[in-house]
């Protein structure tokens, strides 16, 4: 099997890498310190087709595929996982349900502006008391003539404090576990929709994350994705499978950044009269990390390619998320160890990647949930 990138992939990789280094890198320190996302990046990336690279050009996207999106995600994460988190939410969770299942009206009003970076999207699934067990959400949407009235709270929502719209999961029929869920698009400024608080996080600080509250929030019935009650759980599953593959690229980009920083440090740090990279112990650790990063990247691209071919990759997507997120923890631990005491100092960027990467075994499906999915798909 050929795992080489196409010429178009390589051209895109070089272009997005150049953009990340020139347009994103200078913004990282301020965004991390203030916890405020540089919103101008949405439009800048949208104008060049970088924001949502796998959607059609006629919609404002890059006209690429899942592999193309993974390249974008990896390169942005190499620069700043926090900023990448906000952009990933836009390119995947907040737009994919609209692209695959939304009406023409919803696509015109929300999807196209989001792809172009003119509107910022968020995705509301997790709740204060509901995380891994998505079918147990408590948010309700009750039909009232040509509207639905939504009540509930969503937690840990990336882009929540800055979004122009949020795709909200809510039960229209709570008697049908899972199957009674629907997705709704709720606009910022809709009465009853508020950001109750912005969350202060250990890592990924440049991504703005919030708690969203819906109190008798009246949403037009036409804002239901899919056009009929029920079926939202399947839409969620489709979106989450894609997101798990994306997370493989997220983990790979973070691992590559940690490796690059550690090699640079090992060449500069002198102990016992020579750079520590000359010690076999250090070189062996770096060789192991380089091997692991290559495997992470290769497997992520393989599954992304299968996804592009329309294959059922529910098992493989969970494997990507589980493998890359868990291996990343080992890589970050080794990189921090090689840095020694300096790695624990805020002036060295390795600590930021260490803090950011710790989230990956938890968000968008914990490692435990991925193991459950894999076991089920294996018939165990």
Segment 326-377, tens digit of pLDDT: 999 999 999 999 999 999 999 999 999 999 999 999 999 999 999 999 999 9
Ranges of each domain in the chain:
7-115, 121-228, 234-377
The pLDDT of residue 263 is 98
| pLDDT value of residue 2 | 63
Segment 248-261 shows an average pLDDT of 98
Three-class DSSP category at 206 = coil
Q: Is 314 buried (19+), middle (13-18) or exposed (0-12) by CB count in 10 A?
A: middle
Percent of the residues in the chain that have a pLDDT greater than 90, as a whole number: 95
User: Would the pLDDT of 3 be above 90?
Assistant: no
The whole-number pLDDT of residue 93 equals 95
Confidence of residue 1 (pLDDT cuts 50, 70, 90): low
φ, ψ of residue 320 in degrees (nearest 5) = -60, -50
Side-chain half-sphere CA neighbours of 269 within 13 A: 16
Q: Check: CB of residue 94 under 8 Å from CB of residue 34.
A: no
- What b/e readout covers 113-127, taking b as 16+ CB neighbours within 10 angstroms? bbbbbebbbbbbbbb
Which single residue is written with the structure tokens 């060789």?
287
Superfamily of domain 7-115: Acyl-CoA dehydrogenase/oxidase, N-terminal domain (1.10.540.10)
pLDDT value at residue 176: 94
* pLDDT given for residue 133 in this prediction: 87
CATH 3.20.20.70 fits 121-228, yes or no: no
**Range 57-77 average pLDDT:** 96
Q: Which of 32, 74, 127, 364 is catalytic?
A: 364
* pLDDT recorded at residue 227: 85
Residue 364 bears catalytic tag: yes
Q: Which pair of tokens denotes residue 81?
A: 């996982």
| Average pLDDT across the chain, whole number | 96
Strand duo 121-124 + 165-171: pairing: parallel
Range 227-231 contact pairs with CB under 8 angstroms and sequence separation of 24 or more: 227/103, 229/143, 229/172, 229/173, 229/180, 229/182, 230/172, 230/173, 230/176, 230/179, 230/180, 230/181, 230/182, 231/179, 231/182
pLDDT recorded at residue 302: 96
Give residue-wise pLDDT tens across range 186-237.
Answer: 999 999 999 999 999 999 999 999 999 999 999 999 999 998 999 999 999 9
**Per-residue b or e along 198-212, where b marks 16 or more CB atoms closer than 10 Å to that residue's CB:** eeebebbbbbbbbbb
Q: What is the pTM of this model?
A: 0.95
Percentage of the chain exceeding pLDDT 70: 99
Q: Residue for token digits 């489709």?
A: 238
Whether residue 93 contacts residue 102, with contact meaning beta carbons closer than 8 Å, is answered with no
Pair 135, 181: CB distance under 8 Å? yes
List, for residues 123-179, the tens digit of each pLDDT value. 999 999 988 888 999 999 999 999 999 999 999 999 999 999 999 999 999 999 999
Distance (Å, whole) CA 178 – CA 136: 8
Quick one: fold of 234-377?
A: Butyryl-CoA Dehydrogenase, subunit A; domain 3 (1.20.140)
């Amino acid at each position: 099997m050929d795992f080489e990138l196409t010429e178009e992939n390589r051209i895109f990789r070089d272009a997005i890498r150049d953009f990340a280094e020139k347009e994103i890198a200078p913004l990282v320190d301020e965004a991390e310190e203030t916890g405020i996302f540089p919103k101008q990046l949405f439009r800048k990336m949208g104008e060049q087709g970088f924001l949502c690279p796998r959607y059609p050009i006629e919609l404002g996207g890059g006209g690429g595929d899942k592999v193309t999106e993974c390249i974008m995600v990896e390169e942005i994460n190499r620069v700043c996982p926090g900023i990448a988190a906000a952009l990933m939410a836009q390119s995947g969770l907040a737009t994919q349900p609209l692209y695959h299942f939304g009406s023409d009206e919803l696509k015109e009003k929300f999807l196209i502006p989001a792809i172009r970076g003119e509107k910022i999207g968020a995705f509301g699934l997790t709740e204060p008391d509901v995380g891994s067990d998505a079918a147990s959400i408590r948010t309700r949407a009750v039909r009232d003539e040509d509207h639905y009235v939504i009540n509930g709270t969503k937690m840990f929502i990336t882009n929540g404090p800055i979004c122009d719209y949020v795709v909200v999961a809510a039960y229209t029929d709570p008697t049908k576990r899972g199957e009674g869920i629907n997705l709704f698009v709720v606009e910022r400024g809709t009465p009853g929709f508020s950001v109750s608080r912005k969350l202060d996080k250990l890592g990924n600080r440049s991504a703005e994350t919030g708690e969203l509250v819906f109190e008798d929030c009246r949403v037009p019935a036409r804002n239901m994705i899919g056009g009929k009650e029920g079926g939202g759980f399947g839409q969620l599953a489709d979106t989450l499978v894609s997101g798990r593959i994306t997370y493989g690229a997220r983990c790979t980009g973070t691992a590559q950044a940690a490796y690059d920083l550690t090699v640079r440090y090992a060449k500069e740090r002198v102990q016992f009269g020579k750079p520590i990279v000359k010690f076999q112990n250090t070189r062996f650790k770096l060789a192991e990390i380089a091997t692991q990063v290559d495997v992470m990247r290769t497997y992520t691209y393989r599954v992304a390619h299968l996804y592009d071919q329309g294959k059922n990759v529910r098992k493989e997507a969970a494997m990507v998320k589980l493998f890359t997120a868990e291996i990343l923890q080992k890589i970050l631990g080794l990189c921090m160890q090689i840095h020694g005491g300096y790695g624990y100092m805020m002036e060295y960027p390795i600590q930021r990647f260490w803090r950011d990467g710790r989230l990956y075994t938890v968000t968008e499906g914990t490692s435990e949930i991925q193991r459950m999915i894999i076991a089920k798909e294996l018939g165990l």
